[in-house]
Amino acid sequence: MAARDRTGAALAGAFVVFVAAGFFLPSWAVSLVILSLARGIVALGLVVQFRSGLVSFGQALFFAIGGYAVGLAGLKLRLTDMIVLTVIGVAAATLLGAGLGFLMRRYREIFFAMLSLGFSMLFYGLLVKTETLGSTDGFNVPAPTIFGARLSALATRTLLYDLTVAAAAGAALGVHWYLGTILGRLDTALRDNEVRVEYLGYAPGRVIHVQYVLGAALAGGAGALTAMAVGHIDPSMAYWTTSGELVFVTILSGTGSVLAPFLGSLVFGLLQTYALQYAPSVWQMILGVALLAIILYLPGGLWSALERNRARA
Amino acid sequence: MIVATLAFIVADGVIYASWLFIVAVGMTLVYGVMRILNVAHGSLYALGAYTAATMVGAWFQRGYAPLGSFVLLLVAALVVGLVMGLILELGLLRFLHGRDEVVVVLATYATFLILEDVIQLIWGVEARPAPQPYSLLGTTTVGPLLLNNYDLALIALALLVGGVGWWALTRTIAGKLLLAVIFDREMAEACGINVRRVFLVTFLIGSVLGALGGASTAPMISVSRGLGVDVIVLAFAVVVIGGLGSIPGALLGAAVIGLSRAAAVHLLPQAEVFAIYLIMTLVLIIRPYGLLGHERLRKV
C-alpha cells in the first residue's frame, strides 16, 4: 500500500502559514517570498516537463511574455488590477504556448531544448531592438491596484504577496491533480520508452503539447506576478541566463512532489540574498558547485533528500 | 552604391563567419564525438581571451618584438585549452558518462557558472584591452573596402583550421577512428578503439579551439566581463544550423549566420540579434537535424 497522499493537507497548511507570515515578515522578506514563489511556479511547469525527460532551455520566453503582457496592459490599456493583470499574463502565455506547442511536440531531448532556446532568444532579439518598449532598459510597470481601489504601498504589497501565495498553492494543487490523471501519469512513461507509450494507444505528441501549454501558462502567470512585484521589466527576462536559472531551480528541487519547486526556489532565493550580501563575487560559483553536487550526488534534487530522511525515520 | 553595400556585407559577413567558425567548430566536434553540448565552451573562449590579452599586454610593456605577439596568442590558446580541457574531462565529464544528454548540458552549465566567477576573481571587473596586434599588420584596400589585415589573417586562420580539420579527419588513421566513433560509438568500442582516449583527445582539441577563438578575438575587442555569455548562444546557433556534430555543418552555419548578420547590420540594424535566432529557429523547424546533420534512429 502506498503512503497516504498528504500533499493537499500540506498545501493547505503552508497556505495558512504563509498568509499569516505575510503580516510579520519584513519587507525584504516579503519581496523574497513573492519572487521565490513566482519562480517556483515556473519551475513547477518545468518539473512536469522534466518528468518526461524534456528540458526547456527557453522557459524565460513565457516568463517574459507574462511580464511584458502586464507592462503593455498597464501602459496602453491603463489596466492596473493585479488579478486582471495576472490573468492577462497567463492568457498571453497560454495562447503563445498553444501555438508553439504544435511545433515543440515533435521535438525531444537536445532538440527540444534548442528549439525552446531559439524561440526565447527570438523574443529577446525582438525586445532589445524595440525602442517603443525601452530597448535594453525596459520600462516601469505602474503600481497595481485591487478591485479598482488604489491602496497604500504597504497594503498593495501585502495583497500582491497574498495573491502570489494563493497562485502558488492553486498551481501546485492543479498540477498535483493533473499528475494523478492518465495524461499526467504518461509523462514518466514517455521518459522510459516513447514507442511503448504509442503501443498503449496514446499519442506522445499530445501529452507533450499539454505539458508545454501547462508550463507556458504557469510561467506567464509567474512573469506577471514578478513584473508587478519588481515594478520594472526589461529584455533580460527573456535571455537564456534567466532560463538557465529556472532550470537550475528545477534540478535543485527535484521532481518528487509539487511542493518541491517551491522549496527549491525558496532555498535558491535565500541563498541568492545571502550570497549577494556576503560574497557577491562568488555567487555564481556557489550556484555552479551546488548544481554539480546535485547532479552528481543527489539526482533526485533536494526533495529526494527529504524523502530519504523520512524513509529512514 | 548597391555594389558597395554588397561588398561591405560580404566582407563583414566573411570576417564574422570566420570568427564564428573558429569558435563553434570545437563545440560541434565535441558534440559529434562525445554527445556533450558544452556550455562551458563559452568560458574557454573567455579564458582564452583574458589570458591572451594579459600576455600580449605584458609582452608590449616589456617592449619585445611586436610580431611575437601573434605567437603569444596561439600559445595562450594552447595553454588554456590543454589545461582546462584536462581538468574538465578528467575531473568532471568522465564521471557523467552515460547520463542523459540534457543532464550533461546542465553539468557544463554549472561549470560555466563556476568559471565565470573564477575569471572575475582572477581578472577583476576592469576591461583588458590589448589592441596592439590588431593594428600591426596594416590595411589593404580593395575597391571601396578598407580591410584590416588582421581580419584577413582571421579568415586565413579559419580556413587553416577547417582545412587541417578536414585533412586530419579524412586522411589520417586517427581521424578515421574518430569518424568511426562519431558514427557509432558502441560499434567502434567493440572494434577495439579506445573510446576513452578518443574522448580525451577530442575534448582537448575542442577546448584549444574554443580558447583559440577567444585569443584571436582579444586584440579586436576590449576583453571585459560577460564575454562568454553571448558567445555560447551564438555558437549554439551555428552548431544547430549546420547540424549538431557536423564539422562541414559548422562551416555552413557560420557562413549563414555571418552573412545574414552582416546583411542585417547594413540594411536593417534593428534586426541584428533577431535575424540570427530567426534563422536558427527556422532551420530547427524545417530541418531539425541541421542543414548537414543526420537523423538519429528511434530505439525501441
Average pLDDT over every residue of B73-95: 89
Least CB–CB distance from A285: residue in B101, B106, B117: B117
Which domains does chain B possess? Answer: 2-286 (1.10.3470)
At B217-243, the pLDDT tens digits run: 888 877 777 787 888 888 888 888 888
Provide the ipTM: 0.82
Distance CA B33, CA B179 (A): 8
Distance CA A255, CA A43 (A): 10
Structural contact between residues B250 and B23, judged by C-beta atoms closer than 8 angstroms: no
- DSSP code, position A200: T
Q: Residue B299's pLDDT band (boundaries 50, 70, 90)?
A: very low
Structural contact between residues A283 and A276, judged by C-beta atoms closer than 8 angstroms: yes
* Between B205 and B273, residue with greater pLDDT: B205
Q: At what angle do helices A109-128 and A60-76 cross, to 10 degrees?
A: 30
- Say what percent of chain A tops pLDDT 70: 97
Q: Map out the domains of chain A as residue ranges.
A: 11-237
Contact A129 B120 (CB under 8 A): no
Structural contact between residues B44 and B80, judged by C-beta atoms closer than 8 angstroms: yes
The amino acid sitting at B200 is L
Residues of chain A whose pLDDT is less than 50? 1-2
- Closest CA relative to residue A96, chosen from A139, A64, A127: A64
Structural contact between residues B229 and A244, judged by C-beta atoms closer than 8 angstroms: no
Determine the distance in angstroms separating the CA of A180 from the nearest CA of chain B, rounded to an integer: 26
Average pLDDT over every residue of B138-147: 76
Structural contact between residues B263 and B7, judged by C-beta atoms closer than 8 angstroms: no
Distance CA B242, CA B252 (A): 6
Per-residue model confidence (pLDDT) at position A213? 93
- Residue A217: is it exposed, middle or buried by C-beta count within 10 angstroms (0-12/13-18/19+)? buried
Q: Using an 8 Å CB-CB cutoff, list chain A residues near B294.
A: none
Per-residue model confidence (pLDDT) at position B207? 93
Distance CA A292, CA A57 (A): 18
pTM, to two decimals? 0.84
Distance CA B148, CA B143 (A): 14
CA B278 to centroid of chain Cα atoms:
21
Q: Using an 8 Å CB-CB cutoff, list chain B residues near A236.
A: none
Contact B107 A291 (CB under 8 A): yes
Q: Using an 8 Å CB-CB cutoff, list chain B residues near A53.
A: 100, 102
Q: Give the sign of the dihedral formed by CA B3, CA B5, CA B10, CA B12.
A: positive
Contact B273 A196 (CB under 8 A): no
Instruction: Tell whether the model's pLDDT for residue B300 goes beyond 60.
Output: no
Asked which of A147-151, B161-165, B188-192 is least confident by mean pLDDT, the reply is: A147-151
Distance CA A143, CA A197 (A): 48
Least CB–CB distance from A114: residue in B117, B232, B236: B236
Q: Using an 8 Å CB-CB cutoff, list chain B residues near A284.
A: 113-114, 116-117
Structural contact between residues B44 and B210, judged by C-beta atoms closer than 8 angstroms: yes
Contact A115 B285 (CB under 8 A): yes
Contact A292 B37 (CB under 8 A): no
**In the structure grid, which three cell numbers stand for residue B276, read together?**
540570427
Distance CA B150, CA B221 (A): 13
The amino acid sitting at B109 is Y
Instruction: Tell whether the model's pLDDT for residue B259 goes beyond 70.
Output: yes
Per-residue model confidence (pLDDT) at position A212? 92
Q: Using an 8 Å CB-CB cutoff, list chain B residues near A107.
A: 284, 288
Average pLDDT over every residue of B30-51: 88
Provide the mean pLDDT of chain B.
84
For cell 566581463, name the residue: B225
Indicate which of B102, B123, B296 best probes the interface with A, i.e. most A CBs within 10 Å of its own CB: B102
The amino acid sitting at A125 is G
The amino acid sitting at B110 is A
Contact B300 A193 (CB under 8 A): yes
Residue A92 half-sphere exposure toward CB, CA atoms < 13 A: 25
Structural contact between residues A93 and B252, judged by C-beta atoms closer than 8 angstroms: no
Per-residue model confidence (pLDDT) at position B226? 76
Closest chain A residue to B124 measured between Cα atoms?
A281
Indicate which of B233, B234, B298 best probes the interface with A, i.e. most A CBs within 10 Å of its own CB: B233
- Closest CA relative to residue A164, chosen from A213, A223, A215: A223
Contact B270 A129 (CB under 8 A): yes
Contact B102 A287 (CB under 8 A): no
Q: At what angle do helices B272-286 and B227-242 cross, to 10 degrees?
A: 40
Distance CA A45, CA A299 (A): 19
Q: Give the sign of the dihedral formed by CA A65, CA A69, CA A75, CA A80.
A: negative
Instruction: Tell whether the model's pLDDT for residue B298 goes beyond 60.
Output: no
